[in-house]
Structure 1
Amino acid sequence: MKSLVVDDELVSRSKLKKIMEAFGPCDAVENGEEAVAAFINALDRGEPYTVILMDLMMPVMDGHEALRRIRDIEQERRIVPGEETRVIVVSCLEDQKNVCQAFFKGLASVYVTKPVNREVVDTALRSLTLE
């Protein structure tokens, strides 16, 4: 499983990257703009991400916008339904508006709140349909 961690906080990003490296190769970036670029580069190399862990509140481009752009790119490239990259939204925001926006507008796969540890990530990954 190839993954991408997107978080502007260095400590959080480093911790999530270390957790995800136990499952396979993992890249890490610090904002949504870099996430979209990494996503495109991975597709162009024929090595798409299986899972993206995305923070919502980031400078430059937030997680909501990055997720919308990633889903648009998947549609443009005609990624077969069910083969899209799974996105785990990782956020300190628990309010209903952000949860609904992540799921219904951004098509997030799972939403977890910080702080995140190995057990939380394991549970989130088990809830995904991965091949």
Structure 2
Amino acid sequence: MKCLVVDDELVSRRKLKRIMESFGPCDEVENGDQAVLAVIKAMNLGEPYEVIMMDLMMPVMDGHEALRRIRAMEKERRVAPGREARVVVISSLEDQKNVCQAFFKGLASAYVTKPVNRESVLAALRTLNLG
């Protein structure tokens, strides 16, 4: 499965990338603006991301705005229902309000709390029938 990891914290981003690379190719970026550009590029190449691991609290463009733009692009490009990228939000325990907001707006599929570890990522992927 092709994956994109989006996190402004280098250690968290690299850890997530190492975990996700065991499932297939994985790219990494450090903010929401870069994430949107990476998703556009992948779609243009006909190789869309199946999973996006997205931190919510980031500089430049936060995860909420990036997810809104990604979902809007999927609609604009008429991505078939059920074929959209599965988005796992990454958040600190103090950030539960933002996690709930991401879910209630229908943008996120699952979440993992920081600090991330292999077990929590695999558990989130299993809820999506991916792991």
The question of a shared fold, defined as TM-score above 0.5 by the shorter chain, is answered with yes
Query: Once the 2 structures are TM-superposed, how far is the Cα of residue 68 of structure 1 from its aligned partner?
Result: 0.6
* Maintained 8 Å contact 2:91/2:99: no
Taking the aligned partners of 2:3 and 2:63, their CA distance within structure 1 comes to: 16
Residue pairs, 1:1-131, within 5 angstroms: 1-105=1-105, 107-130=107-130
SS at match of 1:46: coil
Output the amino acid matched with 1:124: A
CA offsets, 1:67-115, max 9 Å, x none? 0100000000011111100000011144553122111225100022111
SS at match of 1:83: coil
Taking the aligned partners of 1:92 and 1:111, their CA distance within structure 2 comes to: 10
Percent sequence identity is 76
Taking the aligned partners of 1:62 and 1:21, their CA distance within structure 2 comes to: 24
Deviates more, 1:63-72 or 1:93-102: 93-102
SS at match of 1:43: helix
Count of aligned pairs: 130
TM-score, structure 2 normalization: 0.94
* Maintained 8 Å contact 1:68/1:106: no
Taking the aligned partners of 1:49 and 1:96, their CA distance within structure 2 comes to: 26
Distance 1:128 1:98, change over 3 A: same
Taking the aligned partners of 2:106 and 2:68, their CA distance within structure 1 comes to: 5
Distance 1:95 1:57, change over 3 A: closer
Unaligned runs of 5+ in 2: none
* Maintained 8 Å contact 1:6/1:32: yes
